[in-house]
Amino acid sequence: MGVGTAETDWRVEEAVFIAGLRTRNDWIEATLDALGDASTTNEYVCECGDPACPQLLRTTRAEYEGVRSVATRFIVATDHEDPETDVLREENERFSVVEKMPGRLSRVANESDVRGRGETSR
């Protein structure tokens, strides 16, 4: 095992975990749609790397979809970004938007995007 390999592995594992949280949030939207819920705001799980994070984020669907429209971006509770894996893109009083760093982490985010957009920011 080369130097830095273990460090890279935990970062990739975290990116895969976070992609699963994004899939969960997509499921929340799909379930609400199927139930005919026309709410303008929904609660989404924080898409940070902490498996024990209990945060729910109340956002409008438009806000969530704005984040979700870029495969490498995720919605997290304020101060839940990981400076080793995330770039903070925006922040407000309710949530932050982070982007996975270029390279393996952004590739994991793109490849795990069940919506298949595969878009990245410029």
In a domain, 116, yes or no: no
- Alpha helix locations (H) across the chain? 5-34, 61-68, 104-111
pLDDT tens digits along 12-42:
888 889 999 999 999 998 898 899 887 888 9
Give dist(CA 62, CA 38) in Å, integer: 13
- Per-residue model confidence (pLDDT) at position 118: 45
Please give the tally of structural domains in the chain.
1
In a domain, 118, yes or no: no
In a domain, 83, yes or no: yes
- Is the pLDDT reported for residue 72 higher than 50? yes
pLDDT tens digits along 52-67:
999 999 999 899 999 9
β-pair partners for 1: none
Domain that residue 68 falls in: 5-111
C-alpha 17, offset from chain centre = 10
In a domain, 119, yes or no: no
- Is the pLDDT reported for residue 4 higher than 60? no
β-pair partners for 59: 42
Q: How confident is the model at residue 80 (pLDDT cuts 50, 70, 90)?
A: very high
Give dist(CA 97, CA 81) in Å, integer: 8
Q: How confident is the model at residue 8 (pLDDT cuts 50, 70, 90)?
A: low
The DSSP code for 30 is: H
